[in-house]
Amino acid sequence: MADIHDKIQQFVISGDSSMLNTVMQMALDAGGQASDLLNNGLLPAMDLVGQKMKTGDMFIPEVLMAARTMQSGLELLTPHMEGGDSMSAGTCVVGTVEGDLHDIGKNLVSMMLSGAGFKVIDLGVDVKAPDFVKAVQENDAQIIGMSSLLTTTMVKMEETIKCVAEAGMRERVKVIIGGAPVTQQYADTIGADGYAFNAPDAVQKAKELVAAVAA
């Protein structure tokens, strides 16, 4: 399987969606697990892209191509990811905070929450604090999931939590946060209810928090 993981990484880095989808489809047809292709192929590929970006070996247009390629790989895997309960596990409003355009991790979290039976209202990227609040009100959501990939946009998470409190909803809405620069310590500092390092942990955390709201 190591060979297929190498190929996935190579095609993500070179931004070749067509070849990526071909090798991934072949792996799935041969009985490969979607979670293996994700965890050992696509995710490490994005880490490599990040390293290359940092060292100046990849520039924004190439990173964007790699990101689009990664996204197409995720879409291919979505129907193969583990299905969840048919009944809704709860409603989550998810988005990347204001000023931040990174959405791959957020999309992965949305996808896995959906797979676990949550109704997901995905607000996309560059989401302003009042828009999170509005979406919670309109959809009677129990959870807000915020993503931030830039140290400069992390503060928007705290702003959103304040906005939720000002709307008088802090008691009934749980907030989980994530993204590469975010930590449990940061979540504690800004008064978020949960932090998750990756998408499976995000699902686990969301389930725990919905159970706590219901109790």
Contacting residues toward ligand B12, per CB under 6 A = 43, 46-47, 49-50, 53-54, 60, 63-64, 67, 99-106, 108-109, 145-147, 149-151, 176-181, 196, 198-199, 202
Cα 72 to Cα 17, 75, 77, 128, 206: the distances in Å are: 7, 5, 9, 27, 26
Cβ-Cβ contacts under 8 Å for 180 (sequence gap 6 or more): 50, 105, 149
If the CB atoms of residues 136 and 177 are measured against ligand B12, the closer one turns out to be 177
If the CB atoms of residues 169 and 180 are measured against ligand B12, the closer one turns out to be 180
Whether the CB-CB separation of 55 and 47 falls below 8 Å is answered with no
Least separation in angstroms between residue 108's CB and ligand B12 is: 4
Q: What angle do CA 113, 116, 50 make, to 5 degrees?
A: 40
Query: Which residue carries 């048919």 as its tokens?
Result: 86
Least separation in angstroms between residue 50's CB and ligand B12 is: 3
Query: What is the number of other CB atoms lying within 10 angstroms of the CB of residue 141?
Result: 24
If the CB atoms of residues 30 and 106 are measured against ligand B12, the closer one turns out to be 106
Least separation in angstroms between residue 198's CB and ligand B12 is: 3
If the CB atoms of residues 4 and 95 are measured against ligand B12, the closer one turns out to be 95
Least separation in angstroms between residue 120's CB and ligand B12 is: 11
